[in-house]
Amino acid sequence: MKSAEGMFNESVVHVTAQGAQIQTRGGRIVVFDASLNEDDDSDPELASYPVKKVDTINVFGGVNFTTPFIKTANESGISLNYFSINGKYRGSYRPEKNTIAEVRRAQYALSTEAELAIAKAMIAGKIRNQRTLLSRKGVTGTDLLKDLGIRVENATTKDDLRGVEGEAAERYFDRLDETLVDGWTFEKRTKRPPGDHINSLLSLTYVFMKNEVLSALRQYNLDPFLGVLHADRHGRPSLALDLQEEFRPIFCDALVTRLVNRGTLTHDDFNKDNRLSDDAFKTYLSKFDEFMQEEFTHPHFEYTVSRRKAVRQQAILLRKAITGELDEYHALTFNR
């Protein structure tokens, strides 16, 4: 397997080889170089993975699937996510297998009060993790964020909660520049298009984390388009965006600051539109997967878990809160 053409980590496959075709053979997912002809001496097989171990495949640019593979993906519950060659999300294929009526009925029947309680836990967790990331980087004087975390508990409507979350995000991003080494600056959060290299990396990482969350929600049979805080909008996975909030600072922003502070990515790795060059994007993709595989001691369960598994654990906790198996939702938070 060539690392630039396919990566397999904890049930997630990334395929970046342009012109590749994904097939099935003997219970395995096989990635072929479809550009080779019969007279070519090169091995057309780029990589292969056991079907039973895969639940998500991310493809970038010109990668194709055979019809028999789509049938296998549907039967095996494998989700397919489509991206442009430089990582812009294009859409997804969702297998029909991932539905459980009881879970969906409980989700659709949630009261406004129950939705608000779950959303408050998520946003309180996000603000706690914002303070933790800043603290880890040596940034002091974050008492205002602490106060905003307390205000979350007093929010009585979703609009109140959105207001607190927005103010916390503004205060947090005001201090993010202090987490960066010399040569890198961050003034404010900009999205479409990203105004600088840090914003570009933040946006890219948020997309990838959103798809980690999407995969987890679908694995545990929750509807990712019915949120508890983000407003419903056609084509927007509101619940995935909700659950993603607690991971943004402590996973996403932590990865971005690591990549630039350690010199893994430099300003020379970006094109004029502030997006990563093709080679740099492959480096980013590899580092993202390494980061998601890294293990830590879970702050609540006190056993070792990877970041990817931690995301999926939160989807389980969310489902239990929705179905009433838990009295409340517990966000993933780090106090130090």
Q: Which residues contact 325 (CB under 8 A, 6 or more apart)?
A: 319
The more confidently predicted of residues 80 and 115 is: 115
The rounded Cα 196 to chain-centroid distance in angstroms is 21
Sketch the domain layout of the chain as residue ranges: 6-93, 101-323
The more confidently predicted of residues 36 and 25 is: 25
Residue 74, pLDDT above cutoff 70: yes
Cα separation, 167 vs 161, whole angstroms: 10
Cα separation, 235 vs 186, whole angstroms: 30
pLDDT score recorded for residue 139 = 93
Average pLDDT of span 220-249: 92
* Other Cβ atoms closer than 10 A to 14: 23
Q: Looking at domain 6-93, which of 3.40.50.800, 3.40.50.300, 3.30.470.20, 3.100.10.20 is its CATH number?
A: 3.100.10.20
Both tokens of 279, joined, read 């080679």
Lowest mean pLDDT among 91-95, 180-184, 199-203, 298-302: 91-95
Lowest mean pLDDT among 16-30, 171-185, 241-255, 303-317: 16-30
Average pLDDT of span 46-73: 87
pLDDT score recorded for residue 241 = 96
Cα separation, 126 vs 293, whole angstroms: 21
Average pLDDT of span 253-274: 95
Sort 195 into a burial class: Cβ within 10 Å, 0-12 / 13-18 / 19+.
middle
Mean pLDDT over all residues of the chain? Answer: 88
> Which helix (H) or strand (E) is 135 found in, with range?
helix 112-136
Provide the pLDDT confidence category of residue 3 given band limits of 50, 70 and 90. Answer: very low
Judge contact between 230 and 329, C-beta under 8 A: no
pLDDT score recorded for residue 4 = 38
Pairing of strands 79-83, 64-65: unpaired
Residue 40, pLDDT above cutoff 70: no
pLDDT tens digits for range 102-140: 889 999 999 999 999 999 999 999 999 999 999 999 999
Judge contact between 198 and 252, C-beta under 8 A: no
Q: Looking at the domain that runs over 101-323, which CATH code has it been given?
A: 1.20.120.920
Residue 98, pLDDT above cutoff 80: no
pLDDT score recorded for residue 91 = 79
Residue 47, pLDDT above cutoff 50: yes
Average pLDDT of span 27-47: 75
Average pLDDT of span 251-263: 97
Cα separation, 80 vs 73, whole angstroms: 8
Residue 306, pLDDT above cutoff 50: yes
Residue 76, pLDDT above cutoff 90: no
Residue 229, pLDDT above cutoff 90: yes
Residue 212, pLDDT above cutoff 60: yes
